[in-house]
């Protein structure tokens, strides 16, 4: 299992906004990403992070948060970034998303540049922008559509 680097929350560094997008692989479920696989965007999240943070560190953070037990994240809510982690993980689960797994893809964008990373058994593999993408970023419409389905 990946061990997230606590440097995601480094203080005293220049911060910038990062867009983190999670894509589930619809063709290679729990396996390996190949360029022809269809990816579905399942959530997006803006986060203020150190400008110098490596995209792989951000992907490690995403892997931790979107696979962690909510009770475990709740214990860390008072720590730097803990409340944000708990809330985005809660939204992810309320949307009934499965775990972030091998073959899925994380896109990390900042300052107009996007790094695409495929989840591998031992880390991340840099890939070209995937040609087959479906789904949509997290918007209020997406959230309310899921909330209405749960209430029905």
**Helix or strand (DSSP H, E) at 105:** strand 105-110
Cα separation, 63 vs 67, whole angstroms? 6
The domains of the chain are located at: 7-151
Q: Which two tokens stand for residue 76?
A: 């860390």
Which residue is listed with tokens 């797994």? 101
The pLDDT tens digits of the residues spanning 59-118 come to 999 999 999 999 999 999 999 889 999 999 999 998 889 899 999 999 999 999 999 999
| CA distances for 97 relative to 12, 28, 51, angstroms | 34, 16, 29
Count of CB atoms within 10 A of residue 23's CB?
Answer: 27
pTM tops 0.95: no
Q: Do the Cβ atoms of 26 and 63 come closer than 8 Å?
A: no
Cα separation, 97 vs 49, whole angstroms? 24
Cα separation, 68 vs 92, whole angstroms? 11
Cα separation, 28 vs 82, whole angstroms? 32
The pLDDT tens digits of the residues spanning 6-63 come to 455 556 678 999 999 999 999 865 688 999 899 999 999 999 999 999 999 999 999 9
Cα separation, 67 vs 80, whole angstroms? 19
Q: Determine the 3-state secondary structure of 87 from DSSP.
A: helix
């Amino acid at each position: 299992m990946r061990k997230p680097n606590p440097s995601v929350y480094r203080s005293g560094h220049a911060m910038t906004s990062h867009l983190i997008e999670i894509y589930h692989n619809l063709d290679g479920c729990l396996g390996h990403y190949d360029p022809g696989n269809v990816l579905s965007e399942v959530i997006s999240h803006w986060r203020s992070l150190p400008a110098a943070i490596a995209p792989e560190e951000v992907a490690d953070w995403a892997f931790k948060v979107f696979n962690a037990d909510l009770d475990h994240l709740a214990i860390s809510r008072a720590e730097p970034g803990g409340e944000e982690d708990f809330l985005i993980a809660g939204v992810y689960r309320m949307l009934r998303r499965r775990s972030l797994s091998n073959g899925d893809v994380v896109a990390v964008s900042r300052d107009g540049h996007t790094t695409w990373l495929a989840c591998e058994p031992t880390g991340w593999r840099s890939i070209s922008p995937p040609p087959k993408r479906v789904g949509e970023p997290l918007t209020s419409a997406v959230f309310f559509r899921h909330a209405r389905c749960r209430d029905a």
